[in-house]
Chains A and B, each alone.
Chain A
Amino acid sequence: KQEVTQIPAALSVPEGENLVLNCSFTDSAIYNLQWFRQDPGKGLTSLLLIQSSQREQTSGRLNASLDKSSGRSTLYIAASQPGDSATYLCAVEEAGTALIFGKGTTLSVSS
């Protein structure tokens, strides 16, 4: 059964720092991988989706990479800002459409 792990569980950085969030999954037979952002008490906002045939996707200061063979993905956030403070969730999609989620990394960026 697919398992998704995110490390670290929590991360605190000063404003302006570049940072990397990690996601690993146990079964490489995935259709795609999606990174979400969740603000306290709010819903999930999709940040980036990487298809299984792709290696990376970029959106503004965010860059997500995918290494399917090793079961890893990273989310790189450049020049972090206090507004980036949130929980970041990684999810993989297998056959069908169910998303299997990691437990998330809670990021705090201090000014």
Chain B
Amino acid sequence: EAQVTQNPRYLITVTGKKLTVTCSQNMNHEYMSWYRQDPGLGLRQIYYSMNVEVTDKGDVPEGYKVSRKEKRNFPLILESPSPNQTSLYFCASSTLGTKKAKTQYFGPGTRLLVL
């Protein structure tokens, strides 16, 4: 089954304690991305990757890091989480192609609470 998986699904942590949220896709997609969803603000892109070892900032990258060492995995790293990073996080993937319609597939989400 084609899918995007994220782990953990729920996470409670404390300020400053480094954490990693994993994302994996089994569709051989080149493009992967992280979004956060906040009430009243909607979904905003944090980082994205066009392929292995190619990453770039989205709209709200501050406080986050990513890496793309393998095509299927795109972990989101919070080196020193703060309460304003409490949010619902989504990983997404799709094929690449400048003018080809490409459906983006989303993971189930990770709900993070930073105390």
Bound together:
yes
Complexed CA–CA distance, A10 and B63 (Å): 33
Question: Which of B12-20, B75-83, B105-113 lies on the face that meets chain A?
Answer: B105-113
A78 at interface, CB cutoff 8 A: no
Complexed CA–CA distance, A2 and B94 (Å): 21
Point out the residue from A43, A97, A103 that lies within 8 Å of B42, measured CB to CB. A103
* Contact of B90 with A98 in the complex, beta carbons under 8 Å: no
The digit string for B81-115, where 1 denotes a CB below 8 A from any CB of A, is 00000000010101010110111111111010000
B45 at interface, CB cutoff 8 A: yes
Q: How far, in Å, is A92 (CB) from chain B's closest CB? A: 12
A76 at interface, CB cutoff 8 A: no
Point out the residue from A43, A44, A45, A97 that lies within 8 Å of B31, measured CB to CB. A97
Residues 75 to 111 of chain A near chain B (Cβ within 8 Å): 89, 91, 93, 95-99, 101-104
Point out the residue from B41, B59, B104 that lies within 8 Å of A34, measured CB to CB. B104
Chain A residues within 8 Å of B107, by CB: 43
B33 at interface, CB cutoff 8 A: yes
Complexed CA–CA distance, A51 and B58 (Å): 23
Give me the interface of B with A, judged by CB distance under 8 Å.
31, 33, 35, 40-45, 48, 50, 58-59, 90, 92, 94, 96, 98-99, 101-109, 111
10 cross-chain pairs, A with B, having the tightest CB-CB distances, nearest first: A44-B106, A43-B108, A101-B43, A103-B42, A51-B101, A43-B106, A101-B42, A98-B45, A43-B109, A32-B101
25 contacts between A and B (CB under 8 A): A31-B99, A32-B101, A32-B102, A42-B108, A42-B109, A43-B90, A43-B107, A43-B108, A44-B90, A45-B106, A46-B103, A46-B104, A49-B101, A91-B43, A96-B48, A97-B33, A97-B50, A97-B104, A98-B33, A98-B58, A101-B42, A101-B43, A101-B44, A103-B41, A104-B42
